[in-house]
């Protein structure tokens, strides 16, 4: 217990309003290995070690959190570094795709069969994208690199000038509406064509099913759920 030194915050307001200064009630100090709470009472300062988690939960009591109505095929919802993230799964299907190879020229049009795709979505932001061989049911289920342009090795995607919707339920379809380009790291996305993703697209164009044995592994569900 320490002796209290009076600390006040004087509002930057006209003096004739006669608003009294606001006295300091508590202070938090965050160190590398601990968090210290200082409670400032009438004639003393009480100091104690507290849990950073408890501090966060106490502050969140004043913040309304809720997912609202969630779209179909939601795998999870969590608070991530980019904000509230929703993981959506889209089953295997044929997607129309446009690839812009040269500026100011018409894009090449493809109809590509894709495996199941996992989109980690944030409202109004570009998604992270991965492939799956089946709808994920376990944290240990394998994930694979999406065989797509505009996707980096980490699963992050390049938005370019594309504007994503605030409704995350529309993000996967919006992703395929954007023009793909040669942006991002598109090597090692195919067993047969590790250095030429375009050759894979040309082979798959017009087909009905993606060859799952050609996918390149990149981890497990638990690896991408970490906030």
* Three-state helix/strand/coil letters over the chain: CEECCCCEECCCCCHHHCCCCEECCEEEEECCCCEEEEEECCCEEEEEEECHHHHHHHHHCCCCCCCCCCCCCEEEEEEECCEEEEEEEECCEEEEEEECCCCCCCCEEEEEEECEEEEEECCCCCCEEEEECCCCCCCCCEEEECCCCCECCCCEECCCCCCCCCCHHHHHHHHHHCCECCCCCCCCCCCCCCCCHHHHHHHHCCCCCCCHHHCCEEEEHHHHHCC
For the full predicted model, state whether its pTM sits above 0.85: no
pLDDT the model gives residue 6: 58
Task: For residue 96, give both structure tokens.
Answer: 């129309």
**pLDDT(147) > 80:** yes
Task: For residue 34, give both structure tokens.
Answer: 């601990």
**pLDDT(42) > 80:** no
What's the rounded mean pLDDT across residues 105-128?
A: 96
Task: For residue 226, give both structure tokens.
Answer: 């970490």
User: Which of 173, 175, 149 is closest to 162 using CA atoms?
Assistant: 175
**pLDDT(2) > 60:** no
What's the rounded mean pLDDT across residues 114-141?
A: 96
User: Which of 146, 156, 149 is closest to 122 using CA atoms?
Assistant: 156
What's the rounded mean pLDDT across residues 92-113?
A: 94
What's the rounded mean pLDDT across residues 160-173?
A: 93
What confidence category does residue 8 fall into, taking pLDDT thresholds of 50, 70 and 90?
Answer: low
CA angle, corner 168, sides to 167 and 173, nearest 5? 100
CA angle, corner 109, sides to 104 and 115, nearest 5? 130
Residues 23 and 69 sit within 8 Å (Cβ to Cβ):
no
pLDDT higher at 64 or 4? 64
**pLDDT(140) > 80:** yes
């Amino acid at each position: 217990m320490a002796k209290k030194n009076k600390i006040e915050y004087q509002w930057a307001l006209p003096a004739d309003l006669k608003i009294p200064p606001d006295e300091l009630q508590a202070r938090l100090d965050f160190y590398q290995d601990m968090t210290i709470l200082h409670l400032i009472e009438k004639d003393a300062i009480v100091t104690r070690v507290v849990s950073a988690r408890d501090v966060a939960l106490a502050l969140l009591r004043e913040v309304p959190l809720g997912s609202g109505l969630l779209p179909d095929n939601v795998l999870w919802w969590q608070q991530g570094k980019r904000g509230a993230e929703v993981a959506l799964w889209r089953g295997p299907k044929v997607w129309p795709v446009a690839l812009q190879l040269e500026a100011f020229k018409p894009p090449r049009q493809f109809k590509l069969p894709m495996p199941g795709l996992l989109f980690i979505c944030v409202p109004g932001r570009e998604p992270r994208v991965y492939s799956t061989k089946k709808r994920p049911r376990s944290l240990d289920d394998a994930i694979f690199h999406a065989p797509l342009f505009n996707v980096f090795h980490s699963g992050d995607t390049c938005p370019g000038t594309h504007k994503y919707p605030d409704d995350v339920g529309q993000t996967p379809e919006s992703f395929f509406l954007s023009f793909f380009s040669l942006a991002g790291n598109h090597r090692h996305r195919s067993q047969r064509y590790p250095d030429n993703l375009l050759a894979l697209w040309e082979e798959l164009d017009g087909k009905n099913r993606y060859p799952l044995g050609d996918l390149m592994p990149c981890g497990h569900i638990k690896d991408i759920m970490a906030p």
